[in-house]
Amino acid sequence: MTATHGDAPRATVLVLNCGSSSLKYQLVDPVGGEAIASGIVERIGEEQASAKHMAHGETTRRERQVHDHGEALRLVLNLFDGVGPDLAAAHVVAVGHRVVQGGSRFDGPVLVTEDVQRTIEELSPLAPLHNPPNLTGIRVAQALLPDVPHVAVFDTAFFRTLPEAAATYAIDSEVAQRYRVRRYGAHGTSHQYVSRQVADVLGRPLEDLNQIVLHLGNGASASAVRGGVAVETSMGMTPLEGLVMGTRSGDIDPAVVFHLHRNAGMSIDEIDTLLNRRSGVKGLSGENDFRALHDLVESGDAQARLALDVYLHRLRKYIGAYHAVLGRLDVLTFTAGVGENDDVVRARVVEGLEAFGIEVDSERNAGRKSEPTVVSPDGAKVTVLVVPTNEELAIARQAMEVIGG
Ligand code: AMP
């Protein structure tokens, strides 16, 4: 399976993303950008886990009990052994790990050391659902793949440049400092990758561009990027702040939490679950997949219509706010599952923004986009783009930078 450039085997990076009960992976050619193999093990720790491995254009599935992430990674390595591609021949030069929370400490990718692992652990209270499984992934991968360097790529790193005015919550500063309460952002790998792609696609220097990037997937976030430097983002201390998402509420009056605790008798954990898992468009309509949401809207479902209206209203508010933060806006870019595929969302969100110079051409906007595409009319003041994100490739390339490849 290893193609060669001349005589040298092409270097690859194994990218790992460990969730609480899942392990996602991709074997990436960081130069060509190709995903050579990819897959996921889900329901780790449950009675029956399922693994899906995609390589050579074929999908292989396995169903069996997988007790922990170590066993999950062993299963993945067995799949590479049995189905291919052969990892030994694939010239894996690094393992890139997605880590959600890098706090104020990490402003870029780093080689995993004992000290880095300790810091990721220390930051776990800020991302209790994510950092512990990310760290477990690093530890099991180091044990099973000890001969390659491991690199941690932080989802918060791109937002370390946020000005203090944007990163600071207006609460008692001593409390904030002691408990590290500030806005770290998330999805940074995607916002960074996409904002750089924009400059490449337009053939303009990154330094000259004022951009808004809308990462609209099941999780959703917006960023304002001035000259390649992030100056605002919608996610906060955790990914719960900001836009309305598939299952997360986004911005909400914090007093709702006190109210539900005091008057509905809900525990903090129950409210956490409510706002993270049972809110957003799913909480309003019962569906978090936008394809199903549109079907409901078309069938006349009033709650689904409201869900879409609330989602679009929040998004439009953020576009206006970030326009004001940037002063001048050159490019507005849609990315991720909804942003790349949902032409209705793209068209409706810019309705009424013509006065800001933001509009889409209905023919250009129509359909799903698997390639970078300009969807604004010729001569528009703001270029509206769709740019597919690729977080795995971004992680692979950052890992290569760290190892000097
Ligand atoms: P992501 O988190 O980036 O993988 O995005 C996943 C979300 O993208 C899904 O929950 C859907 O809401 C949305 N999505 C995927 N495909 C489509 C499509 N063809 N049309 C509209 N939304 C889509």
Q: Give the CATH number, domain containing residue 304.
A: 3.30.420.40
Distance 174 CA to ligand 1 centre (A): 41
Q: How far from 318 is each of 225, 232, 332, CA to CA, in Å?
A: 14, 10, 12
Q: Which atom of ligand 1 is nearest to the CA of 336?
A: 3
Is 283 marked as a binding-site residue?
Answer: no
Does the pLDDT value for residue 128 go beyond 80? yes
What tens digit of pLDDT does each residue of 348-363 get?
A: 999 999 999 999 999 9
Any atom of ligand 1 within 6 Å of the Cβ of 388: no
Distance 336 CA to ligand 1 centre (A): 7
Q: Which atom of ligand 1 is nearest to the CA of 293?
A: 12
Pocket mutation for ligand 1, best pick of 26, 213, 218, 368 (most atoms within 8 Å of C-beta): 218
Tell me whether residue 271 is in a domain.
Answer: yes
On average, the pLDDT of the chain sits at: 96
What tens digit of pLDDT does each residue of 8-35 get?
A: 568 999 999 999 899 999 999 999 999 9
If pLDDT is split at 50, 70 and 90, which confidence band does 386 have?
Answer: very high
Give the separation between CA 363 and CA 350, rounded to whole angstroms: 15
Give me the pLDDT at residue 10, please: 83
Give the separation between CA 325 and CA 319, rounded to whole angstroms: 10
Give me the pLDDT at residue 8, please: 59
Distance 293 CA to ligand 1 centre (A): 11
Give me the pLDDT at residue 9, please: 67
Distance 282 CA to ligand 1 centre (A): 13
Any atom of ligand 1 within 6 Å of the Cβ of 107: no
What tens digit of pLDDT does each residue of 160-193 get?
A: 999 999 999 999 999 999 999 999 999 999 999 9
CA 187 to chain centre: 4
Q: Nearest C-alpha to atom 1 of ligand 1 is from which residue? A: 217
Is 339 marked as a binding-site residue?
Answer: yes
Pocket mutation for ligand 1, best pick of 293, 341, 343 (most atoms within 8 Å of C-beta): 341
Q: Which domain holds residue 122?
A: 4-154
**Same-domain check for residues 140 and 53:** yes
Is 246 marked as a binding-site residue?
Answer: no
Structure-model confidence comparison of residues 88 and 110, the more confident one: 110
Q: How far from 66 is each of 90, 107, 203, 245, 248, CA to CA, in Å?
A: 26, 35, 48, 31, 29
Give me the pLDDT at residue 4, please: 41
Q: Which atom of ligand 1 is nearest to the CA of 344?
A: 21
Mean pLDDT, rounded, for 319-348:
98
**Same-domain check for residues 245 and 369:** yes
Give me the pLDDT at residue 163, please: 98
Does the pLDDT value for residue 7 go beyond 70? no
Nearest to 10 by CA among 86, 85, 92, 81: 92
Does the pLDDT value for residue 131 go beyond 70? yes
Mean pLDDT, rounded, for 238-247:
97
Does the pLDDT value for residue 2 go beyond 50? no
Active-site residue 155, yes or no? Answer: yes
If pLDDT is split at 50, 70 and 90, which confidence band does 129 have?
Answer: confident
Tell me whether residue 175 is in a domain.
Answer: no
Is 263 marked as a binding-site residue?
Answer: no
Distance 342 CA to ligand 1 centre (A): 8
**Same-domain check for residues 263 and 380:** yes
If pLDDT is split at 50, 70 and 90, which confidence band does 405 have?
Answer: confident
What tens digit of pLDDT does each residue of 310-332 get?
A: 999 999 999 999 999 999 999 99
Give me the pLDDT at residue 20, please: 85
Any atom of ligand 1 within 6 Å of the Cβ of 291: yes
Tell me whether residue 398 is in a domain.
Answer: no
Give the chain's domain count.
Answer: 2
Last residue of a domain, one of 126, 154, 182: 154
Tell me whether residue 136 is in a domain.
Answer: yes
What tens digit of pLDDT does each residue of 82-97 get?
A: 999 999 899 999 999 9
The model carries a pTM of 0.95
What tens digit of pLDDT does each residue of 274-283 get?
A: 999 999 999 9
Q: Nearest C-alpha to atom 11 of ligand 1 is from which residue? A: 289
Tell me whether residue 41 is in a domain.
Answer: yes
Any atom of ligand 1 within 6 Å of the Cβ of 103: no
Mean pLDDT, rounded, for 123-138:
93
Catalytic residue chosen out of the listed positions 155, 330, 342, 343: 155
What tens digit of pLDDT does each residue of 282-298 get?
A: 999 999 999 999 999 99
Tell me whether residue 289 is in a domain.
Answer: yes
**Same-domain check for residues 147 and 268:** no
**Same-domain check for residues 231 and 296:** yes
C-beta separation of 27 from 85 below 8 A: yes
**Same-domain check for residues 240 and 322:** yes
Q: Nearest C-alpha to atom 17 of ligand 1 is from which residue? A: 341
Give the separation between CA 287 and CA 298, rounded to whole angstroms: 14
**Same-domain check for residues 213 and 133:** no
Any atom of ligand 1 within 6 Å of the Cβ of 289: yes
Distance 396 CA to ligand 1 centre (A): 23
Pocket mutation for ligand 1, best pick of 248, 291, 311, 344 (most atoms within 8 Å of C-beta): 291
Last residue of a domain, one of 154, 176, 195: 154
